[in-house]
């Protein structure tokens, strides 16, 4: 099973992705985590991408797509994978389509976790203290990430609507409630 999870920053994508991938026994691929690991290890990719993460801007598509393509060659993706934070732009959707076709696979489900801007702002402020992410602590960066989600990432969701694979799920509630909603939505298809 190959799944994408969409949602604004702070929607709970990371938390739900960890539970869902454990439940389904599939690989969790978070492009944000991959970038943060590269930055922490001061790799060439990390040095090239650090400024984008700090500013809350999208990393250029070529760097992001090649990183994802490489990750999808690892053996743990064989049973399936959940993409958390990818695709985030139209060129990334097109690239994913090509990668899937090269792999002889397809996207089975797209989860759209929706929450209001105010919930996002409050959750990110809370998370900044817990996870120590600099991009959660700066109000200007938070606003930039919300705006980037609306202008660049949310339209990507529309790429999948005509394919009939999108499940809209309310992201407000406890972690368990939202998890049950997601599982329920997918079971009904």
55: left (phi over 0), alpha (psi -120 to 50) or beta: alpha
Closest CA to 160 of 99, 90, 105: 90
Pick from 4, 29, 45, 53 the residue near ligand AMP by CB under 6 A.
53
With CB under 6 A as the rule, give the number of residues binding ligand AMP.
Answer: 16
Pick from 81, 86, 160, 179 the residue near ligand AMP by CB under 6 A.
86
Candidate ranges 51-59, 98-106, 160-168, 173-181; the one touching ligand AMP (CB under 6 A): 51-59
Cβ neighbours of residue 4 closer than 8 Å, sequence gap 6 or more: 82, 83, 86, 87, 107, 109, 110, 111, 160
- Tokens representing 11 are 């929607």
Under the criterion CB under 6 A, does residue 72 sit at the interface with ligand AMP?
no
CA dihedral for 78, 45, 112, 96, sign (positive or negative): negative
Pick from 20, 59, 124, 169 the residue near ligand AMP by CB under 6 A.
59
Under the criterion CB under 6 A, does residue 160 sit at the interface with ligand AMP?
no
Under the criterion CB under 6 A, does residue 123 sit at the interface with ligand AMP?
no
Under the criterion CB under 6 A, does residue 171 sit at the interface with ligand AMP?
no
Helix (H, G, I), strand (E, B) or coil at 106: coil
Under the criterion CB under 6 A, does residue 24 sit at the interface with ligand AMP?
no
Cβ proximity to ligand AMP: between 35 and 179 the closer is 35
Using a 10 angstrom Cβ sphere, with 0-12 exposed, 13-18 middle and 19 or more buried, the burial of residue 8 is: buried
Give residues in contact with ligand AMP (CB under 6 A).
9, 31-32, 35, 52-53, 56-59, 64, 85-86, 88, 92, 145
């Amino acid at each position: 099973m190959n799944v994408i999870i969409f949602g604004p920053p702070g929607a709970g994508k990371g938390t739900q992705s960890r539970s869902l991938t454990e439940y389904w026994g599939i690989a969790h691929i978070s492009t944000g985590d991959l970038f943060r690991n590269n930055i922490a290890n001061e790799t060439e990719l990390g040095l090239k991408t650090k400024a984008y993460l700090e500013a809350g801007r999208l990393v250029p598509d070529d760097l992001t797509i090649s990183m994802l393509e490489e990750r999808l060659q690892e053996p743990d993706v064989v049973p399936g994978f959940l993409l958390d934070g990818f695709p985030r732009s139209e060129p990334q959707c097109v690239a994913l389509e090509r990668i899937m076709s090269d792999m002889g696979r397809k996207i089975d489900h797209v989860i759209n976790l929706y929450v209001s801007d105010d919930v996002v702002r409050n959750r990110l402020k809370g998370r900044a203290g817990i996870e120590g992410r600099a991009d959660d602590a700066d109000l200007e960066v938070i606003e930039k990430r919300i705006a980037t989600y609306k202008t660049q990432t949310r339209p990507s969701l529309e790429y999948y609507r005509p394919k009939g694979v999108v499940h809209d799920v309310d992201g407000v509630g406890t972690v368990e409630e939202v998890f049950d909603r997601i599982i329920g939505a997918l079971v009904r298809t």
